[in-house]
Amino acid sequence: MPYTLIFFIMFIFIKNSHYNHMEFEADLIRFFQLNMSPAWVIVFRVISMFGSLMGFAITFFIVFLKKRSLAYALFVSYFVFQLLNRVLKHLIARNRPFVDYQDIVNYDNEDGFSFPSGHSLSAGIFASYIVYVIIKSNSQSLNKALSIVLVSIISFSVLVSRMALGAHYLTDTIVGLILGILFAIISILVYNIIMKKLFFKRDYIGENNGRNIVGGD
């Protein structure tokens, strides 16, 4: 409920404010693009892919190796939340940076609306699921910490790449990441609730069957 209220307030603010972004957000994109070489454009395009279907495939594979049922939960939640993200984009209808400013280059050939960033939202979902798997693993604490730091760096790199490529403002990426994390937490909580009920039902049926067999003897 609190998350819904926060998002509702944020939606009203963005939709009805006299500006759809802050000027420093455009300056931040200009800073990246003015200091980017062609090689960095390629690097940022590759990093950006970690927030796309490629990132989904990698995350699904990692989660699948650890827990198949959780991987299926990731599959469902990812596509459901991507659909929700598209709805939000059209409801809020914020222009992309290269539409508002002619000097900002659209390096990733994007179109459509800007808020929230779908790649950043995906990065939040992927990172949350991987971190959950890491925490639940039997690895040493140091290895867990290092793995979580690495996942966090990759996630934040996706945010930077979306700005550097001229596809999103800073607020697009931050809100996208936050939403992705919240969506992942919700889906993992729902997954755990469902799994507990299934295990409880299975144990209950197993106990009853056992009693019937004993009674039959």
Residue 152 domain flag: yes
pLDDT reported for residue 200 = 54
What is the residue range of 74's domain? 49-197
pLDDT reported for residue 99 = 86
In terms of phi and psi (left: phi > 0; alpha: psi -120 to 50; beta: otherwise), the region of 113 is beta
pLDDT reported for residue 67 = 86
Residue 23 domain flag: no
Residue 34 domain flag: no
pLDDT reported for residue 157 = 93
d(CA 57, CA 42): 21
pLDDT reported for residue 211 = 46
Task: Name the token pair of 36.
Answer: 């980017």
pLDDT reported for residue 88 = 86
In sequence order, the 6+-apart residues with CB closer than 8 A to the CB of 190 are 73
Residue 4 domain flag: no
Residue 36 domain flag: no
Task: Name the token pair of 80.
Answer: 């459901």
**Structural domain total, the chain:** 1
Q: Per-residue pLDDT tens for 55-99? A: 899 999 999 988 888 888 899 888 888 888 888 888 888 888 888
Please check whether residue 20 is in contact with residue 14, taking contact to mean a CB–CB distance below 8 angstroms. yes
Residue 100 domain flag: yes
Residue 67 domain flag: yes
Catalytic residue ranges:
119, 168
pLDDT reported for residue 43 = 93
pLDDT reported for residue 199 = 63
The alpha-carbon radius of gyration of the chain (Å, integer) is: 21
In sequence order, the 6+-apart residues with CB closer than 8 A to the CB of 41 are 107, 164, 165
Amino acid at 133: V
d(CA 112, CA 54): 21
Low-confidence ranges of the chain (pLDDT < 70): 1-21, 198-217
Residue 9 domain flag: no
